[in-house]
A and B are shown apart, each in its own frame.
Chain A
């Protein structure tokens, strides 16, 4: 009898424990659902509010434009659609030094090993190629903004993401952006970033902006949607330094011994290219 009673008691205890465990699990499930249910509308509302993405973008652009001096390293890769239609990726790395309003230095190394240096000191823009020991130089007073615009538009030179170096970046990005979305919060090499996706008339862009007190761009992807094959340009920023040691010497160009001065292609006299020797061929 005694044993029977004990076993009954034990069974009852088991049952009680079991039922309480089950109810706990049930509660947890309910709680999880509630959490999800709470979270979903929140996530949706982020997506549906362009001003949020717009604020993040504007904050980054303003912050960058108002930073008086900085250095940053940039690694970029870009697609080149070959005549065969094959997509080939090339890359380069560059070290950028900006000292507003007049100092700009960009040291570039292509994936081929070829190097170029672009310097601006408030008066002259110089591009130097150390391997051939040649440089091209032209006067352009007026500051970084003027020099960068002249460099791209009139000299037809390359300076990827040049817009980010100018103080007019906030106005430029705002006027060109036709649509902007918040994609997600994500982490790049341990840095929490806001991933935004914007569209301009000719380029779709994505930018990852660091969360927190220094809203700096960490990664940028550009898609040339109207170009054949829709090639992309991808860039990763690293080693942002907003308090660098800078001297004016970094922006002045002194030709190394034996360096030859050459023209910019765009500044060669008009018409020199048309020579009888080169009008032939397959035409």
Chain B
């Protein structure tokens, strides 16, 4: 009897795990990065001896674009967080069910194990919640950073900025990646291909999404019409225009204003 029960329990468990995995895959599809589905950039990718997290509270007077990005980003963080919370809950429930099944065949040892597992579960859930909070804070901080970067551009480079101790500020790269994730989300939501090179509107540096494939038009949402204006190659997809530019993630397609 026990030997028959175990495969059934395992099968149910596997089903739950697969379903949970599917949830997470969906979440990743929305917020993920480049062609392989994994984002390649972040704070550690910079290899810098400083990061901009400590300078996050300087921004004032947000532009409309920045504000909308902030709210968009917060929403994004929340929706991913919600997914994650749900996934964790499902996993916990799943584990609890598994334990109950096991308990019917249990000995004293198993009961002890269950105790410790329950503790682990509650700990995991707690960590999960803490992670969610941390991630949301992170999102807000990055949004503020972006505003700051934008302002620096609009205001030109002050001498203060040039004397900045953290000239190798690694958070800049992470900011760009953050915007890329939003671009991916927007593209996904509007029914475009997941490999679309779109981006959130941004005043300066933050409109990037790494090209997943190096050659040809693989990074663009269509087979574009190509135009050269004053030596610069432009790619047109419908009413959208793009050009290539070198960013911290390599060569990417940037949405630009029509060249004529």
Contact = CB atoms under 8 A, between A and B. Distances in A.
- State the main secondary structure of chain A at its contact with B: mixed
Contact of B214 (A131, A173, A233): A131
Chain A interface size, as a band, is: 35 or more
Interface in A250-270: 260-268, 270
B44 A231 contact: yes
Contacts of B208: 265
Contact of B43 (A161, A176, A224, A272): A224
Interface residues of B, number: 94
Interface in A55-89: 76, 78-85, 88
B49 A205 contact: yes
Contact of A272 (B52, B131, B170, B256): B256
Contacts of A80: 38-42, 44-45
Interface stretch (B5-13, B27-35, B107-115): B27-35
Where chain B touches its partner, the secondary structure class is mixed
Nearest to A138: B246
Given A84-B84, A266-B205, A232 B44 contact: yes
Contacts of A157: 246-248
B248 A84 contact: no
16 contacts: A81-B42, A82-B39, A84-B28, A129-B250, A134-B244, A149-B167, A156-B173, A222-B44, A222-B49, A227-B44, A228-B134, A264-B245, A265-B247, A272-B254, A278-B199, A282-B190
Interface of B: 24, 27-28, 30-33, 38-54, 65, 68-69, 71-72, 75-76, 80, 84, 131, 134-135, 138, 153-154, 157, 162, 164-174, 176, 181, 183, 185-190, 198-208, 214-215, 231-233, 238-241, 243-248, 250-252, 254-257
Interface of A: 76, 78-85, 88, 90, 112, 114, 116, 127, 129, 131-132, 134-136, 149, 152-154, 156-163, 172-173, 175-176, 200-203, 205, 222, 224, 226-228, 231-233, 235, 260-268, 270-283
